[in-house]
Amino acid sequence: STSLQVLFFPDKDVACREHFLTGNGCMKVNCRFSHNKTSLSELYRHMLDCQKTMDVCVYIITCKDLADILSRLFRRGVKIRIISDSEQLRSSGSQIWSLRKEGIPVRTNPSSYLMHHKFVVIDEKVLINGSFNWTAQAITGNQENVIITDDDAVSSLFVAEFQRLWEEFDPS
Amino acid sequence: STSLQVLFFPDKDVACREHFLTGNGCMKVNCRFSHNKTSLSELYRHMLDCQKTMDVCVYIITCKDLADILSRLFRRGVKIRIISDSEQLRSSGSQIWSLRKEGIPVRTNPSSYLMHHKFVVIDEKVLINGSFNWTAQAITGNQENVIITDDDAVSSLFVAEFQRLWEEFDPS
Ligand SMILES: [Zn+2]
Ligand SMILES: [Zn+2]
């Protein structure tokens, strides 16, 4: 059976990274972040469940906290690939440069049209897709949605779309 | 059983409005538009299937061809409601003003954060959702995706989200 989850943003409170990432919980007295489930903490959970591969195809990636999850997974041995928008790469706050410096391969669209997708495929199975760019304002400001599904009929199409773009955007 | 469809953009060719909207086909010799199925023609098809209500919650609406479908449905008696982004309303090419003038109710976010959703719910049943804003460049330029489903478990959540925002953005 397939699982399906819908997340809406903005979150009222910011999920505590310490609480949701370490697995040990957060020891801070009067921590100002949320220890309750939020849309962001659910995103964290799905991303941290990744075992082997994560294909990220997201228009804008400026949120350091989400980029940091990629770094953690990469250091853990997860094979990560990123497709993002070439124009947004040049915007201030883009996390793409530091991710690239760590060794994560990144490809971008050569045209002036937008690489406007906002989807992630985890282990070629779980699709995260919606209106949600990886920005701070998408988490606690904007009205956004994310659908998460492991329905093969859907995710396989996004696996193929990622691969198609990955090859199309090969700079070599 | 539920149906599910994924559309990717850009379309290589622009769907012929005459061909896909009238039901009589296009009589033009050497018509420069596509009479074959495209992602846009599939969007047209789902929208034109609408019987009673269409709830449109889309960040940017500048594409005259898509706005025109709303006008047609509205004149046909379909109850249409639009939620869009207040900032984008002021951008040149916004179709919101003419849709409002026809009598279609439109509500927008009062805050400076983005009303960034790009979803439509047809007859409180069929959800159209993805990265796709209603712009010309989203159709034939950008990399975009749209998921269309009549799975109640998903669409009912978007019906509720629309209603929540509709009430939150009530200007009265
Ligand atoms: Zn904490
Ligand atoms: Zn034609």
CATH code of the domain covering residue B96: 3.30.870.10
In tens, the pLDDT along A97-135 reads 999 999 999 999 998 999 999 999 999 999 999 999 999
Residue that wins the pLDDT comparison between B55 and B111: B55
Query: Is residue B62 situated within a structural domain?
Result: yes
Question: Which residues are within 5 Å of ligand 1 (an ion), measured at CB?
Answer: A 16, 18-19, 26, 28, 31, 33
In tens, the pLDDT along B128-171 reads 999 999 999 999 999 999 999 999 999 999 999 999 999 999 99
B interface residues, A as partner, C-beta within 8 Å:
4, 6, 8, 10, 59, 109, 111, 113-119, 129-132, 137-138, 141-145, 147, 151, 153-154, 157-158, 161, 165
Q: Amino acid identity, residue A143?
A: Q
> Tell me, what's the pLDDT at A29?
87
Contact B138 A117 (CB under 8 A): no
Q: How far apart are the first and last CA of chain A?
A: 41
Query: Is residue B68 situated within a structural domain?
Result: yes
Contact B143 A8 (CB under 8 A): no
In tens, the pLDDT along A112-122 reads 999 999 999 99
**Tally of domains within chain A:** 1
Query: Is residue B35 situated within a structural domain?
Result: no
Please name the member of A116, A130, A141 whose beta carbon is closest to the beta carbon of B129. A130
- Substitution target in A145, A149, A165 with the highest count of B β-carbons within 10 Å is A145
The residue range of the domain holding B70 is 4-13+52-168
| CA–centroid distance, residue B22 to ligand 1 (Å) | 59
> Tell me, what's the pLDDT at A25?
82
Please name the member of A111, A116, A143 whose beta carbon is closest to the beta carbon of B165. A143
Question: Mean pLDDT, chain B, as a whole number?
Answer: 96
In tens, the pLDDT along A44-80 reads 999 999 999 999 999 999 999 999 999 999 999 999 9
pLDDT at B23 over 80: no
pLDDT band at B62 (very low <50, low <70, confident <90, very high): very high
Please name the member of A113, A129, A141 whose beta carbon is closest to the beta carbon of B142. A113
| CA–centroid distance, residue A10 to ligand 1 (Å) | 19
* Sheet-wide strand order for B126-130: B4-9, B144-149, B126-130, B118-122, B53-58, B79-84, B106-108
Query: Is residue B143 situated within a structural domain?
Result: yes
Query: Is residue B126 situated within a structural domain?
Result: yes
Q: Please, are residues A111 and A150 in contact by the beta-carbon 8 Å criterion? A: no
Task: Count Cβ–Cβ pairs < 8 Å, chain A vs chain B.
Answer: 89
Question: Among B8, B14, B46, which residue's Cα sits nearest to residue B130?
Answer: B8
Query: Is residue A100 situated within a structural domain?
Result: yes
| CA–centroid distance, residue A25 to ligand 1 (Å) | 7
Q: Where in the sequence numbering do the catalytic residues of A fall?
A: 116, 118, 123
Query: What 3-state class would DSSP assign to B10?
Result: coil
> Tell me, what's the pLDDT at A41?
97
- Substitution target in A3, A107, A131 with the highest count of B β-carbons within 10 Å is A131
pLDDT at B113 over 80: yes
Query: Is residue B37 situated within a structural domain?
Result: no
- Give me the mean pLDDT over the A35-41 stretch: 96
> Tell me, what's the pLDDT at B24?
77
Please name the member of A115, A130, A141 whose beta carbon is closest to the beta carbon of B113. A141
Question: Mean pLDDT, chain A, as a whole number?
Answer: 96
> Tell me, what's the pLDDT at B72?
96
Query: Is residue A23 situated within a structural domain?
Result: no
With pLDDT > 90 as the criterion, what percentage of chain B qualifies?
Answer: 91
Residues present in chain A in total:
172
Q: Print burial letters for A25-39: b (CB count within 10 Å at least 16), e (below 16).
A: eeeeeeeebbbeebb
pLDDT band at B48 (very low <50, low <70, confident <90, very high): very high
> Tell me, what's the pLDDT at A77?
98
- Closest residue, chain B, to A147 (C-alpha): B154
Q: Where in the sequence numbering do the catalytic residues of B fall?
A: 116, 118, 123
